[in-house]
Every structure is written in C-alpha cells, then in structure tokens.
A and B are shown apart, each in its own frame.
Chain A
Amino acid sequence: MRKKGSNTGTLLLLAALAIVLLLLPSVLPRFYTYILSLIFVTALLAMSLNMVVGHGGLFQFHHCVFYGVGAYAFALMITKAGLPMWLSFIAAPFASALAGLMIGWLCVRLTKLYFGMLQISLGSLIWAIAFRWYSLTHGDDGIHGIPMPDLISSTSAAYYFIFLFFVLCLLVMYLIFKSPFGMALQAMRDNPDRCAAVGINVRRHQLTAIVIATFFAGVAGVLFAVLERTVFPDLLFWVLSLEVLIMCLLGGWFTFAGPAIGAGITVALRTFVGIYTEYWTLVLGVLLIFLIFFLPEGVMGFIDQRVGSLGRKKVPGSQGV
C-alpha cells in the first residue's frame, strides 16, 4: 500500500549539512575552502549531466563542452566585450543552453550509441574551436586573470557565492526532477517507445531536457571561472566529460544527489592522491572496479537501499533523494 515518506528527518539532515558548510570556511584553511568550492562546481556539473544521462537515459558522452562554453562565454564577455561581470554571469549560461539546443537538436534524431557518437563529434568540434582560434580564445593558453568584483574576490567570499548558486540550482533541479516533466523523462529512459505510445513527444521532451541540463552545466562553468579566474581548453576536452560520467556512475545514476557524492570523491582523489602520484586515475580505476562489483547502483543508490530497508519498503533508486 501507499507509503508515507518521513521528510522531516531528511530536511533536518540537510539543514544541519548546510549550516556546517556555511561555517566551514571560518575554520578551514584557505586551500580546503578552495577545494570545497571546486567540489560544488564539479558536483553541479555532474548533476546537470545526470539529468540527461541518469534520469533521461540519453548518452550525453561529451557534456563538459557546455561547461566549457559557459566558462569561455563568461570570460570572453568580460575580457573581450567588456561587459559587466554580473551581466556576463547571467548571460553566459544561456550561451551554453544555446549550444545545447543546437547540438541536441541534431542528436535527438538518433538513439543510444549513435546519439553518443554524434554528441562526442559535435562536442569535439567546439573543443577544436576553443583550442585553435588563437585570436579569440588564446588557444591552449586559455584566458587568465579574469577580473572579479571585490565582493567575491577572496577565497571565502567566492566559496559563499558558489555555495549560494549551487544550492539554488540544486533546488530548481530537484523541483524539475520531481515534476511531471521529470517523471516523463525518467519514463522515457525506461522505455521511449512506450512514452510515445501514451502521447508524449519524446524527441521534444529530450531536447528540452538537454537544453535545461546544458544551461546548468553553463552555470557550473561560470562558477568555475569565478573561482579560478581562468579558462582553458581542457574544460571542453572529452577526458573531463569521461570523468564527469564516472562521477555519476560512482554516486549513482538513478538517484538525484548521487553524482554530487561522486564529484566529491573524484575531486578529493584528484587533489589528495594527486599529491603523491600523477597517476591518481589508477586509484579511481580500482575504486570503480570495486564499485561495479559491490555497489552497482552507486554510493547513493546503496544508501537509499539501506535507509529504505530500515523503515519502509525497498526504495527504488529512481525515487531516492
């Protein structure tokens, strides 16, 4: 029979987490504040990808292109066009969404792996532009020293700024996840033919999801530029896209918050194992192997199952937090 989920506990937990995260910069050394900011940025990127991959079932293999487009658009608007920072901040994610619309419009015509291959190709094209168009993007040098307003120029101020937008984006994404649109998207992942047969325009729905997801990837890109004041072509390179896919897998595709955990694990590994060896991906690889054997639903999927088996009936990943 119908279950009643106890939301109060989850809400309290989230509130406590938010308070801890708000207090952290005053006790943590600057470096750790910076790493946490980076985790928020990466988590937002991973969650935006998961919206199309985990919830939508689309093989968006080259997602970080839109992250890069957002970061570059932001940097170029400030340094080349001389637009005010705040205006660029608002406008840049729309550049990502536009790129998402154009690439997505072509890709939704195909399915599964074909979608993925086309998406990689078109994405790599944009990477090539950023890499080669020296007069505009400074090629592999990237753009450095993007000026930031004093208000957000310190590490802890940037942290709060990023945290604020991270939480805002998460709220919006969560609402979408739980909305009829999000539910239809998840249904489409399970069975696109069935969706069409109940009267849903599958392609248009998928394209809308891609545009929304690429918009949030753009926000993540802009936040990255705010944090680093630098953009470079690696932001759009397929290796990063793969890394972000792994974050989703690590945290749990079918959950909402899982990819954020995956992002946290990956960034932490890169930072702390990276101190000892440049082959930190080796550790990530081994971790992945264990994960696939023991936690096929990802970390968050596993937590969902455990929490679910305590009080209620088994909670499916797709309904998780």
Chain B
Amino acid sequence: MLRVENLYKSFDGFMAVNGANLIVGQGQLVAVIGPNGAGKTTLFNLVTGQLRPDRGKVILNGEDIGTLPPHEVCRRGIARSFQIANIFHRLSVFKNVQVSVLSRQKKSNRFFARAHRMAVQETDRILESVGLLDRVDDIAGSLSHGDQRILEIAIALGTEPQLLILDEPTAGMSPEETTGTMALIRKLADTQGLTILFCEHDMDVVFNTAQSIMVMYYGKTIIQGKPEEIRRNTMVQEAYLGGEDDA
C-alpha cells in the first residue's frame, strides 16, 4: 500500500533522513522505532507532505506522492496525528472532528449552509468509537492531555483514511492511558480494517502491537521485519536495544 524508497532529507547539511525504506501492507500495523533524533518524525513529515524529500520516493497505491502538499496527501487517503497534540483548541470537541468530516465530504467551501446541522451522525459515530461522545460540547483546549491525543486520532479518522499515521500516540500519557490508547488503536485496526503506521518509544507497546517493525538509526533504515526477527537481529541489538542494556 505504502512504499518508501531510499528517502533522503537534510536540514542545513544535517542528514535527518538518510536512506529510509519502508513497506506498509494493506491492513497491517507497522511501527517505526529508533532512538531520539533517528528521523522518525521527519520520515512521517515527508510521507504526509509537511516536508519535501531531497531524494527518493513515497509511493501510495502506485502513485508517487512525495512532492504533494499536505492537503493533497490527505485527499489520497493518508491521515495523521502529530507528536505534540495538534487540535483546534478553541473549538468544541464536536467541531474538531466535524471540520475534518466536512473537509472529506468536500463541503468546507460552502458559504450558506448551516454547519451545525451537517455531518452530525458521522461525527458522533467517530467520537463514539474513540470514547469521547460524552465530551462533545467541551472546548478541546480544556481536555486532559491524554484526551487531546485521542481527539487528534478522532480528527484523523474524520477524513476516512486508508492509512493512519500516528506519531508517538502515547507520548506523555500515564501507563493506564497508554494501555487504553493502544487498545483503541488495535480496535481501529481490527474493526475498521485500517492500516496503521506509528512510531513509539515504549518497546513493550511496540512489540505487543506491531506486526512489522522498521528500525531507524541516524536517519537510515537498518531493517524492517516481524517483531521476532527484530528481537533476534544483532545489528539492532547493538545499535539500539542492546545499547540501553549496556548503559
């Protein structure tokens, strides 16, 4: 479904992404891991159009989307969450998701329709699936950090993506919130057939959830494989997993 081939991106001479390769198959749950600064977020930004790659290809269903701007990438079926909760702070929880649903329905440019009656059922359904239905009228900025992260996933779902990209979905969450969020992500993958690509620091979370793991180190893809393969791989152990044990 998504294939990243030999992707490069530098900032002022610093190679943030230095030869990344990634394959995400239909319906898979794929994780990207790597130490801080390995280029995971940059990779996601390249895929979703926030950044343009210097070299390499991002291929979605056979089309190179590497140079498209974010809104075009979104219209081709990729939605994402950001590392820092990226929501519409002053709007209600309901409107946060509604904006996204209306955008997908291509109704964002209507001037004389009453927005508050539009896409209500669909928005409610999404909020119900993530468990925020009882907070619809709350202002998004007043939610707890954990709930804001969940809301962000809900916003992403509003665009009815084929592929959902989550940048550290559990960052800053308590252990209970982490468990809940990962359960939600698995549920979304199971019940809605979503393909999910995420990156995460918590190794337990990654090895319990992902069907395929890609390891990045200094902007480069070391390996991508099943969790067991990753665990066994000596290079990964040296570069990353083992490094922590030694320390």
Contact = CB atoms under 8 A, between A and B. Distances in A.
A179 B50 contact: no
Interface in A176-235: 176, 178-184, 186-187, 189-191, 193-202, 205, 208
B148 to A, nearest CB: 12
Interface residues of A, number: 36
A109 interface: no
B74 A316 contact: no
Interface stretch (B6-14, B95-103, B219-227): B95-103
A318 interface: yes
Contacts of B112: 175-176, 179
Given A184-B99, A193-B82, A317-B90, A179 B139 contact: no
Contacts of B82: 193-194, 197
B118 to A, nearest CB: 6
A187 B91 contact: yes
A254 interface: yes
Nearest to B106: A199
B57 interface: no
Given A184-B102, A205-B108, A197 B80 contact: yes
B115 A201 contact: no
B99 A179 contact: no
Contact of A179 (B74, B95, B114, B155): B114
B99 A195 contact: yes
A196 B134 contact: no
A179 B110 contact: yes
A316 B91 CA distance: 8
Interface in B60-95: 69-71, 74-75, 79-80, 82, 86-92, 94-95
A308 B188 CA distance: 37
A186 B108 contact: no
A314 B141 CA distance: 13
A199 B159 contact: yes
B115 A198 contact: no
Contacts of B111: 175-176, 179, 181
Nearest to B97: A198
Contacts of B137: 1-3, 313
Contacts of A314: 139
Interface string B179-206: 0000000000000000000000000000
Contacts of B113: 179-180
Given A1-B137, A197-B74, A199-B74, A183 B79 contact: no
A197 B157 CA distance: 11
B158 interface: yes
Interface centre among B75, B79, B110, B118 (most CB of A within 10 A): B110
Nearest to B107: A180
B186 to A, nearest CB: 23
Contacts of B116: 178
A79 B96 CA distance: 50
Contact of B136 (A1, A208, A318): A1
A199 B104 contact: yes
B101 to A, nearest CB: 9
A32 B114 CA distance: 37
A121 interface: no
Contacts of B158: 198
B121 interface: no
A183 B114 contact: no
A2 B98 CA distance: 14
A160 to B, nearest CB: 26
Given A183-B95, A316-B92, A198 B103 contact: yes
B93 to A, nearest CB: 11
Nearest to A201: B71
Interface centre among A183, A189, A194, A201 (most CB of B within 10 A): A194
Given A180-B102, A184-B103, A197 B139 contact: no
A195 to B, nearest CB: 7
A271 interface: no
B48 interface: yes
Interface of B: 48-50, 69-71, 74-75, 79-80, 82, 86-92, 94-96, 98-100, 102-104, 107-116, 118, 134, 136-137, 139, 155-156, 158-159
19 contacts: A2-B137, A3-B137, A179-B111, A179-B113, A180-B118, A182-B115, A183-B98, A183-B115, A184-B102, A187-B96, A189-B90, A195-B99, A196-B71, A197-B156, A198-B79, A198-B99, A198-B100, A201-B69, A205-B108
| 4 closest A-B pairs by CB | A199-B74, A196-B70, A190-B88, A198-B100
Interface of A: 1-3, 175-176, 178-184, 186-187, 189-191, 193-202, 205, 208, 254, 313-314, 316-319
